[in-house]
Amino acid sequence: MALAYGTLVVMAMLPIFFGSMRSVKHHKEQTTAFQKTGEKPDTMTSKDAMMFPIMASCALFGLYMFFKIFSKDNINFLLTGYFFFLGVMALAHLLSPVISSLIPASIPKIPYHLSFIQGPTEGSKDETESYLIDYKFTTHDIVCFIISLVIGVWYLLQKHWIANNLLGLAFAVNGVELLHLNNIVTGCILLGGLFFYDIFWVFGTNVMVTVARSFEAPIKLVFPQDIITNGLSASNFAVLGLGDIVIPGIFIALLLRFDNSLKRKSNFYFYATFTAYFFGLLATIFVMHVFKHAQPALLYLVPACLGTPLLLALLKGDIKKLFAYEDHPEDKTKDAKKSEKSSGEESSTTAASKTKKETKKKESKKVK
């Protein structure tokens, strides 16, 4: 049992660490693209964070009703096909830098560009063309896709726990890397909302537990508790949902990007909160083991991940910098410039109208 829970903790920590490191690179790429094209990067806003627990509750309850009304096998068949496709793509994206470093330089890296363009409607004045598919890839990406496809088919046919974990880890790393909170306030709203969401659906109802037991998809990490006695064919699993990794993970990744913005020698807030997550996860497992009941992990993880950086920032005098930090502050500067322009235009128009009125008054006086 200790081996199973210990392995789950390690598997939970790895996606957060490597996903956070990759999120820094992704953030730099987004910033460069924004400066070149002016295309606004995709980040989670405060409004999105407020709506997330509501949307998650609707999706969770919807799945619960589907499992109650329809055949569990039919629903899992559809969901397995959907997550098979997503899992293969996520794993290929994760393996891409690893495979590229392993392939010898003698093997050429040939680029390809797959595009599918929709032309203008016949007789329409608008002759613009839109890309339905615009995908660039290389021979290295093809190798990654083939490897990922083999693992995906392995999961599809056997539902083996190792294949499940490989796809689940790929989902977790990609989630932490690509899902960006733009500022700390958004992170506090998201984690605070999901804190109550997790408590309600685990303690208040049997919905969360029922869906977790019925749902057969690589959205959880598992490790057999009886692996020593039964080997790889073990069937009694300890489980950790990906939401308990990705949700705190995207907040911890934000703190790493904040650390980088401070340009200090150490990533203090990242490592402190990363350690707090570790202890929060240990607390979850301990309470679950003592009370023999499923626990809402975010009940322990949210206070650890929110309280640690806020308290440390308060003690170090960085609290203002923490709340002022944004991933893409260019948006504000552009808005400020726009407001300055509009205010300047308004002032010029008002000044012009005043001068017109004054000249009219003078002309009327002359006529008199």
**pLDDT 10s digits, 303-316:** 999 999 999 999 99
Residue 30: inside a domain, yes or no? Answer: yes
pTM, full prediction: 0.84
Confidence category of residue 348, pLDDT binned at 50, 70, 90: low
- pLDDT reading at 223 higher than 80: yes
Of 155-169, 240-254, 337-351, the least confident? 337-351
State whether residue 311 is helix, strand or coil. Answer: helix
Enumerate the β-bridge partners of residue 223: 238
Which residue did the predictor score with more confidence, 92 or 129?
A: 92
Q: How many domains does the chain have?
A: 1
Residue 367: inside a domain, yes or no? Answer: no
Residue 18: inside a domain, yes or no? Answer: yes
Using CA atoms, how far apart are residues 188 and 310, in angstroms rounded to an integer? Answer: 10
Give catalytic status of residue 198 as yes or no. yes
Confidence category of residue 357, pLDDT binned at 50, 70, 90: low
CB 161 within 8 A of CB 24: no
Closest CA to 7 of 302, 223, 200: 223
Q: What percent of the chain clears pLDDT 90, i.e. is strictly above it?
A: 51
Give catalytic status of residue 327 as yes or no. no
Q: Which of 198, 259, 318, 327 is catalytic?
A: 198
Using CA atoms, how far apart are residues 137 and 345, in angstroms rounded to an integer? Answer: 47
Tokens encoding 173: 């790393």
Tell me the mean pLDDT in the region 19-45. Answer: 86
Amino acid at 1: M
Its domain, for residue 249, covers 2-119+127-331
Residue 339: inside a domain, yes or no? Answer: no
Residue 46: inside a domain, yes or no? Answer: yes
Closest CA to 209 of 193, 217, 224, 198: 198
Using CA atoms, how far apart are residues 237 and 213, in angstroms rounded to an integer? Answer: 11
User: Angle formed by the axes of helices 2-37 and 330-367, to 10°?
Assistant: 30
Highest mean pLDDT among 76-85, 166-175, 215-224: 166-175
**pLDDT 10s digits, 154-191:** 999 988 999 999 999 999 999 999 999 989 999 999 99
Q: Which residue has the tokens 């598997």?
A: 11
pLDDT of 359: 54
Q: Which of 141, 244, 318, 327 is catalytic?
A: 244
Amino acid at 317: G
- pLDDT reading at 102 higher than 90: no
Concatenating the DSSP letter of every residue in 276-340 gives HHHHHHHHHHHHHHHHTS---THHHHHHHHHHHHHHHHHHHT-HHHHHH-BS-THHHHHHHHHHH
Of 126-130, 255-259, 285-289, the least confident? 126-130
pLDDT of 345: 52
Residue 232: inside a domain, yes or no? Answer: yes
Confidence category of residue 360, pLDDT binned at 50, 70, 90: low
Query: Within its chain, how far is the Cα of 193 from the centroid?
Result: 16
Q: What does the mean pLDDT of the chain come to?
A: 85
Residue 161: inside a domain, yes or no? Answer: yes
Which residue did the predictor score with more confidence, 166 or 340?
A: 166
Residue 338: inside a domain, yes or no? Answer: no
Of 19-28, 100-109, 282-291, the least confident? 100-109
